Amino acid sequence: MRRAPFARRLAALLAAALLAAFGLGGCQGSKGQETSAPPEKASSGIATKLSGPVEITFWHAMTGKHEEALRTIAENFTKEHPDIRIKLEAQGNYGDLQQKLTAAAKSHTLPVMAQVIETWVTDFRQNGLVADLTPYIENPEIGWNKQELDDIVEVFRKANQWDGKYYSLPFSKSTQILYYNTDYFQELGLQPPKTWDELKEAAKKLTGEKNGRRVIGMGFENSVGWQFHQWVKQAGGRYVDEATGEVLFDSPEGREALGFLVGLFQEEVARLAGEDQYVSNPFGRGDVGMYIGSSAGIPFVAKAAEGNIHWAAAPVPAGEEKAVAFAGNAVAVFDSAKPEEKLAAWLFIKYLLNTDNTVFWAKSTGYLPIRYSALETKEWQDYVAQNPAYGVGTRQFDYGFFDPRIPGFDAALKEIDKEIQAALLGQKSADAALRDAARAAQAAIDRAKERAK
Amino acid sequence: MVRDALSKGTIYLLLSLGGVLMLLPFLWMLSTSLKAPNQVAVLPPAWVPVPPHWENYAEALRMAPFGRYFVNSVIVTTLSTIGELLTTILAAYAFARIRFWGREVLFSLLLGTMMVPGEVLLVPNYLTLTKLGWIDTYAALIVPWTASVFAIFLYRQHLLSVPRELGYAARVDGAGDFRFLWEILVPITKPALVTIALLKAIGSWNAFLWPLIVTNSREMRTLPVGLTAFTTEAGTAYELLMAASAFVIVPMVVLFLLFQRHIVEGISRAGIKG
């Protein structure tokens, strides 16, 4: 997942702060409840049959071709369930969507369901806004059996569980992969790096003059601060404790991770994307030998590279441990919806996430299939044979992880990003940056915790 | 004479250079809108794309219902501009020409509201609209924008600059406030009103966040919201975005070319007595 532009995020932040001041951040919805746990509901209290036609609104952040694909799925669904109509409403990018959901929650005009990011769900859940989907999943009539549920890729499933219950389900998922320039790699007799040492070695060899062009071996996205979690985990360290909100990366492992990255920059074999925002452009014109970025960027790399360079993708190299971040979004149903609307939304989610549709979605958008069975389908295998880069992400399922879903993490991330960048650009020593990042991140998380009380 | 011509020449040269510099982003937009995706980020930039990819325009327009967005933008821009002109003329006249209790305090309060950043007002305004049941309607897109403190301030300064004697003369001739305002003041302050209308039209045409927040369905969205169709979380299709942008700004460029003389006049005369 990439971050929204600064101005947009600032606006979202302001709106959030305002809502906090108004008391929504506190305990709107969970009236009189002291704990952060949502009100318990009898799992039998769900509707399992529709008594008439239902229309449900689905707010999403998909644009252009992604939106078209979503529309196709919704239309096909209505053909199978003529009594349910899905009203798709695009709400801009993720920042806009979050802002709108916040405003809608405050004014009690939430849609029936929405595309969400798991970190938001923590907030929604604390405020009693999202419906617990577990009773639907476990219902013998309309739910999934154990096998079907286990078919959803484990790392995605876990990212949508809170205290063993599902408040959202994975939908559009992406991961980090290594993009590399096959022309340069062949010329130098290099193989895609599998370890940190090989990565550094390759970066050194790739750096230099090539056909009158200054090439830098390794590229990092401007949002490298978000990747830092991955590097810390690879060094064997821990990042932030999801249970306590304690920031843990100011550790020997954290120092090792940042030290490694800073080392690449000090030896001038690595660069940031810079004004292009994403490395896909510099990589596509041959200025960068390889880079680690989101698998959702494959279409952009392909476009930028066309006619300029040849390229391929490989799994992210490993450190002490193998660890790769998975990101993206999920779908959630809001508790304010009527029982029949919730049922209709569940039926749609079930359809949206079935094997055929997850393959269709992955093929049309570049996101990853979210089911193991999808990887076995002929359709997907043919597709990957044609487009090998799309198959790389799914090879990393077994050591995937996701960001802690705690309040204040977005704000903490911003602080971390700032400090990591300062270290990479040589404006600050690695140790000082790490210490300051940890301190600022902890403060941001503590503030959010304080507000949530 | 020669020295005059020389210095004049230098001035024109500098101004032309400045003009070209100002135009660069615009030219970049036009040039990028005709590029193939792999040409967009090439360094140094290729200013003349060979061959030009005209199909970018067709493709860009296919990505979202731009026809509908265009109609909505025209409706919203026109009505909110007319609305703002009406409220501005009436309010500014009251503040400039009518003596009433608390006038100065009221005017200061009004100016004070300009200090409140728009982002802070977003959620309260949204709540108000929800209560009114206006979400996803033209009313939500238009009504909140039919008054502008800045416009009232600007127009009031213009009205203050009109000699008081004109008002006395009109009164002697038997004209009331209303007639004096519409038949004498409005015609002689036309440049100011054109300025206000143009600023409004441009602002309204380009508004993004508000239309996005208060509307839900595709049928109610405006052009700037449509431009988001080219941005994803992993990158932006610049060639399509620029093609759509070029299409979106054409009406504003035409308006500006038609009325640019009035804009300069309207702003440069604000607050000057005489």
Q: Which residue of B has its CA nearest to A304?
A: B38
Task: Report CA torsion sign: B56, B60, B63, B66.
Answer: negative
- Chain A residue numbers touching B119 (CB-CB < 8 A): 10-11, 14-15
> Domain check: are A208 and A275 in the same one?
yes
Q: Is the Cβ pair A92, B40 closer than 8 Å?
A: no
Q: Tell me the CA distances in angstroms from A177 to A171, A220, A314, B234, B263, one per residue in order.
A: 19, 12, 6, 13, 53
Cβ of residue A109 closer than 8 Å to a chain B Cβ: yes
More confident residue, A350 or B191: A350
> Domain check: are A222 and A264 in the same one?
yes
Instruction: Name, in order, each residue with C-beta under 8 angstroms of A450's C-beta and a sequence gap of 6 or more.
Output: none
Would you say residue B20 lies in a domain?
A: no
Would you say residue B51 lies in a domain?
A: no
Would you say residue A114 lies in a domain?
A: yes
> Domain check: are A381 and A236 in the same one?
no
More confident residue, B189 or B233: B189
Residues 74-113 of B with CB under 8 A from A: none
Q: Is the Cβ pair A100, B237 closer than 8 Å?
A: no
- Chain A residue numbers touching B127 (CB-CB < 8 A): 103, 106-107
The mean of the pLDDT values for chain B is 88
Is the distance from CB of A404 to CB of A328 less than 8 angstroms?
no
Cβ of residue B233 closer than 8 Å to a chain A Cβ: yes
Which regions of A137-269 does DSSP assign to beta strands (E)?
Answer: 161-162, 165-166, 169-181, 208-210, 213-220
Residue A22 exposed, middle or buried by CB count within 10 Å (0-12, 13-18, 19+): middle
Would you say residue B39 lies in a domain?
A: no
CATH number for the domain spanning B93: value is: 1.10.3720.10
Range of the domain at A335: 54-174+327-398
Cβ of residue B10 closer than 8 Å to a chain A Cβ: no
Under DSSP, the state recorded for B182 is: I
> Domain check: are A389 and A416 in the same one?
no
- Chain A residue numbers touching B63 (CB-CB < 8 A): 63-65
CATH number for the domain spanning A392: value is: 3.40.190.10
Residues 216-245 of A with CB under 8 A from B: none
pLDDT tens track for B24-74: 998 999 999 998 888 887 777 788 888 888 999 998 888 888 999 999 999
For chain A, the domain total comes to 2
pLDDT tens track for B138-151: 999 999 999 999 99
> Does the predicted TM-score (pTM) go above 0.90?
no
> Domain check: are A235 and A382 in the same one?
no
Residue A398 burial (CB count, 10 A): 10
pLDDT tens track for A102-154: 889 988 899 999 999 998 999 899 889 999 999 999 999 999 999 999 999 99
Helix (H, G, I), strand (E, B) or coil at A85: strand
> Domain check: are A248 and A276 in the same one?
yes
> Domain check: are A376 and A271 in the same one?
no
Cβ of residue A14 closer than 8 Å to a chain B Cβ: yes
Would you say residue A133 lies in a domain?
A: yes
The residue among B42, B232, B238, B239 with the most chain A CBs within 10 A of its CB, best to mutate, is B232
Range of the domain at B213: 64-232
The residue among B39, B123, B214, B219 with the most chain A CBs within 10 A of its CB, best to mutate, is B123
> Domain check: are A394 and A416 in the same one?
no
Would you say residue A64 lies in a domain?
A: yes
Would you say residue A382 lies in a domain?
A: yes
The Cα A404–Cα A362 span in angstroms is: 25
Chain A: nearest CA to B121, how far in angstroms? 9
Bond before A282 cis per omega within 30 degrees: no
> Domain check: are A312 and A359 in the same one?
no
Residue A222 burial (CB count, 10 A): 18
Q: Which residue of A has its CA nearest to B240?
A: A64
Highest mean pLDDT among A273-277, A315-319, B3-7, B98-102: A315-319
The Cα A421–Cα A405 span in angstroms is: 23
Residue A150 burial (CB count, 10 A): 13
Cβ of residue A67 closer than 8 Å to a chain B Cβ: yes
Residue A20: the pLDDT is 45
pLDDT at B190 over 90: no
Q: Is the ipTM of this complex over 0.85?
A: no
| Minimum-distance CB partner of B235 among A15, A280, A285 | A280
Q: Which residues pair with A318 in a beta bridge?
A: A195
Residue A43: the pLDDT is 46
- Helix B190-206 × helix B238-268 angle, to 10°: 160
Would you say residue B21 lies in a domain?
A: no
The Cα A77–Cα A90 span in angstroms is: 18
> Domain check: are A217 and A313 in the same one?
yes
Residue B232: the pLDDT is 80
pLDDT of chain A along its 453 residues, tens only?
444 444 455 455 445 444 444 444 333 333 333 344 444 444 457 888 899 999 999 999 998 889 999 999 999 999 999 999 999 999 888 888 998 898 899 888 999 999 999 989 998 998 899 999 999 999 999 999 999 999 999 999 999 999 999 999 999 999 999 999 999 999 999 999 999 999 999 999 999 998 888 999 999 998 898 999 999 999 999 999 999 999 999 999 999 999 999 999 999 999 999 877 889 989 998 999 999 999 988 988 998 898 889 999 999 999 999 999 999 999 999 999 999 999 999 999 999 999 999 999 999 988 999 999 999 999 999 999 999 999 999 999 999 999 999 988 988 999 999 999 999 999 999 999 999 999 999 999 999 888 877
Residue B240 burial (CB count, 10 A): 23
Q: Tell me the CA distances in angstroms from B153 to A411, B91, B238, one per residue in order.
A: 39, 9, 39
Chain A: nearest CA to B79, how far in angstroms? 24
Would you say residue B98 lies in a domain?
A: yes
pLDDT tens track for B247-256: 899 888 888 8
> Domain check: are A424 and A321 in the same one?
yes
The Cα A235–Cα A258 span in angstroms is: 10
Cβ of residue B121 closer than 8 Å to a chain A Cβ: no
Q: Of A306-310, A402-406, B75-79, B119-123, give the lowest mean pLDDT range.
A: B119-123
> Domain check: are A415 and A445 in the same one?
yes
Cβ of residue A147 closer than 8 Å to a chain B Cβ: no
For chain B, the domain total comes to 1
pLDDT tens track for A30-64: 333 334 444 444 445 788 889 999 999 999 999 88
pLDDT at B274 over 50: no
Would you say residue B23 lies in a domain?
A: no
Residue B269: the pLDDT is 60
Would you say residue B96 lies in a domain?
A: yes
Would you say residue B132 lies in a domain?
A: yes
